Structure 1
Amino acid sequence: MSWACHTKPGGSLRERVMLCNSSLFLTELHGNWGGRPTAVGGGQAFGSVQFIATGYIALLKDECAMTDSRDHFPITLGVEEEMFLVDPQSRDLLADPDGGIFETCGNACGPHKVVREFFRCQIETNTRVCSSVAEVRTALRDTRRIVIDAAARYGAAVMGSSTHPFALWQTQKVSPSERYQRFLANFQDNVRHFVVGGMHVHAGFGDPDTRILVMTALRRYLPLLHALSTSSPFSGGRETGFKSYRLSLVGALPRTGMPNPLYSRADYDRMMAAYRRMDFIRDGSELWWDIRPSHAFPTIELRICDVCTRIEDGVAIVALYACLIRWLMRQARMGKLPAEPFTELIEEDRWLAQRYGVFAALGRQSCEGGRMECLPILEELQGQLAQDARALACEAELGHALAMAREGTCADRQLDLYRQRRQEGDSHQEALRQVVDLLLTRTREQVVEDSL
């Protein structure tokens, strides 16, 4: 994502503008980055606001303009997807794909961004900043279309899942950038095995203190969000026994997993200062928690999720994340945020979600105690978040999360197909190739016209 904020000094208002590639967006008013991003042209009216764009300056005349009259808790969104480049013939990963893929994507990505990842077989897409869940869907279709079309020009296919069913880490090549070479030098075999991809969702809202407070309150919901995303049941040709083996690989690194509670930006800044004093890290980009304040943007970045093979599944997770944020902002405004559960209990839920996906029975992080399966948890949340889903115009997308909990996730579909093919006489390797074909097809759905 390409958020960059600039401040116009002077005046009674703190005026912020953001340049997203070549488009100018007004995004922050009195510390509230969560205003709906609006492309600015040379004198474009929005309600009672007259935008006059000269270079990086947008003049704000109405203090309340970027707050939608229907919604005083606005949220902006952006999604990163880390996907794989596959040989359509062998179905294996392309250890050294043609660099023209990335050059073609760079020329075609417009307001989005496409970049290399740690391994050369990976490709990462970053959507533009979106002002609604519907815009996220459109942006994900756009970014997938860009990489699928570019890959096809160079004899490659794109696969959206968090592990490849049978590719071996020993045959993969690390991208040549200095950053990734330093990463390899520091972490050695921990990252040589790291042939995984994730989906990261950025949400911009509130002021810095509100973002930290809501981030902490979101922790209890992260296992549920992860369960809905699970797409990595295989690794190195093995059925791992987990719906998300990716988290097992990610957990080999320091500064991963569930963060401890923080209650203000000052708390976070003190912790970061301690990290830097001890020379553990240089900046917040080296914190790889399940959820974190973004180092580069005024957002909270959800990082726990696997890549969703189907766009609609990813959009449902974005909708649930956005609704939870809005609900928690409302609770914070009223001083009614729920008490924080012990981090250790959330980590128990995290492991259950990783192991069983949407069929996990997660702990009830409340005074009642006990455990509950994901579907009834989501049914309860559907009612709790109804007002927020209406305000964010994502009722249908939130409803799709219920279907995912009933029918299973990408991990379940992979396992079902593999077991079916084995029962019908396919070899282990041929059954895994069929799983790759399923993933390639589902990645193209709603993107390429000839998809099934």
Structure 2
Amino acid sequence: MPLEFSRSQALSVGVELELMVLNTRDFDLSRGATDLLARLDKVKIEGAVKPEITESMIEVNSSVQTRYANLLDELTRTRDAIVTEAGRLNLVVAGGGAHPFHHWSDRRIVPTERFLRVSQLYGYLAKQFTVFGQHVHVGVESGDDAIYTTHRMSRYIPHFIALSAASPFYQGEDTSFETSRLHAVSAFPLAGHLPAVTTWAEFNGYFDEMASHGIVESMKDFYWDIRPKPEYGTIEVRICDTPLTVETAAQLAAYAQTLTADFLRHRQEPPLRAQYMVYGYNRFQACRFGFEAQLADPQAHGHVRLRDDLLATLDRIAPLADELGTTAALSAIAERARAGANDALWLRQQFEKTRSLPDMVRLQAARWRDVPGAKAATRAA
């Protein structure tokens, strides 16, 4: 039975944000997600808030939007509702890609059919998957467009890694990476990227073969950095750490939306063999070095600094940003890139000031809930 691709409005956008649920004693992860979700069920929210794989996580799903400003407004209201209800339970929530000092063995799997199946299949990896990402959905009109835009977007995955990086600490140590979260994702056997198919019919053939071997049952079984999402009619960019603010989250969605518009307006077939030959190397460079990563450029037979590549891309798509209403978002992204300032840098700066990981997480949670002191720390960074 072929996978049907649901048509959606081209360039519509939505986000998923996985958030930490923390206690207010030492700012370690809490098992409070169930109680928090019970309270949020009674609050009117435009999108949805759901459980994630362990009881220390929640997932925010926005509604479908077409304009950056509307998405940001919605995320801000949802953030405020979550913060309010968490406070009534003496909990706080935070962004960030990985909790810096929790112990994975302390986590508990949420007892849904899917999460229990994942736990049974992947063992301890399921608890280690208590990491926190942002997924961005962008609408396309057909399965063929989804395959095409997924391949085109793969070239820009390092940009999203550097811009969203927010997990430099893991298991109590500075990892020297901008993001440590992606190593947890990479441990899964179906991590990676879309195979070099070029049409939706070809992809259906690939999916059917994988299913016939008992490897997959649905698209959710693919832990790719970007994947088509046929039931929504979107491509889903899954590479980002959850940012420390809703403003950054909305800006990342705006960048994905504007890039997709560029791909659809200026169609060109990507050089798949060359692109995927350097894919893993460029992904590693971005995880390790962020804006200073040296990306292999197979067409130029050389390297380009990620920061320069990102800024050149932003210049190229600026006219489309004006049409889509994403100019302010892309300007903010360019400003951060020029300054080399992402959330990984901010976290390291807070640790340098406090010399305490719990205090750093306290400030991280304050930044998420838009406390004035956290804003001042952001400006100082």
Tell me the TM-score normalised to structure 1 length.
Answer: 0.78
Paired residues of 1:77 and 1:129 also in contact (CA < 8 A): yes
d(CA) in 2 for partners of 1:449 and 1:256? Answer: 39
Structure 2 residue identity aligned to 1:408:
A
Q: Secondary structure at the match of 1:253?
A: coil
Q: Alpha-carbon deviation of 1:449?
A: 8.2
**Corresponding position: 1:435 with 2:360:** yes
1:351-405 deviation line (CA, Å, top 9, x unaligned):
111111222122234x223222222112211221012111111111011111222
Larger radius of gyration: 1
1:86-117 deviation line (CA, Å, top 9, x unaligned):
011211111x2163310221221433111011
Q: Alpha-carbon deviation of 1:164?
A: 0.9
Amino-acid identity (%): 26
1:375 counterpart (272, 289, 307): 307
Which residue does the alignment assign to 1:394? Answer: 326
Which residue does the alignment assign to 2:379? Answer: none
Q: Alpha-carbon deviation of 1:451?
A: 6.7
Equivalent residue pairs, number: 369
The higher-RCO structure (CA 8 Å, 6+ apart) is 2
| Structure 1 residues 208 and 150, CA gap change in structure 2 (3 angstroms) | same
Alignment of 1:345-384 (within 5 A): 345-365=278-298, 367-384=299-316
Q: Alpha-carbon deviation of 1:264?
A: 1.0
Q: 1 or 2, which has the higher helix percentage?
A: 2
Gaps of 5+ in 1: 1-27, 35-73, 423-430
Q: Secondary structure at the match of 1:186?
A: helix
Structure 2 residue identity aligned to 1:310:
T
d(CA) in 2 for partners of 1:282 and 1:104? Answer: 33
Which residue does the alignment assign to 2:8? Answer: 33
Q: Which range is displaced more, 231-240 or 78-87?
A: 231-240
- What RMSD in Å do the two structures reach over aligned CA positions? 1.9
| Structure 1 residues 201 and 109, CA gap change in structure 2 (3 angstroms) | farther
Structure 2 residue identity aligned to 1:80:
E
Paired residues of 1:234 and 1:240 also in contact (CA < 8 A): yes
**Corresponding position: 1:318 with 2:288:** no
Alignment of 1:36-47 (within 5 A): none
Which residue does the alignment assign to 1:76? Answer: 12
Which residue does the alignment assign to 1:130? Answer: 65
1:93 counterpart (1, 5, 29): 29
Structure 2 residue identity aligned to 1:180:
F
Q: Alpha-carbon deviation of 1:151?
A: 1.0
Q: Alpha-carbon deviation of 1:142?
A: 2.1
Structure 2 residue identity aligned to 1:438:
L
| Structure 1 residues 127 and 82, CA gap change in structure 2 (3 angstroms) | same
2:55 counterpart (120, 123, 131): 120
List 4+ stretches of structure 1 deviating above 6 A: 448-451
Which residue does the alignment assign to 2:198? Answer: 263
Paired residues of 2:243 and 2:343 also in contact (CA < 8 A): yes
Q: Secondary structure at the match of 1:358?
A: helix
Q: Alpha-carbon deviation of 1:438?
A: 2.0
Q: Secondary structure at the match of 1:85?
A: strand
2:342 counterpart (388, 409, 423): 409
Paired residues of 1:162 and 1:307 also in contact (CA < 8 A): yes
Gaps of 5+ in 2: 376-381
Structure 2 residue identity aligned to 1:383:
D
1:344 counterpart (270, 277, 290): 277
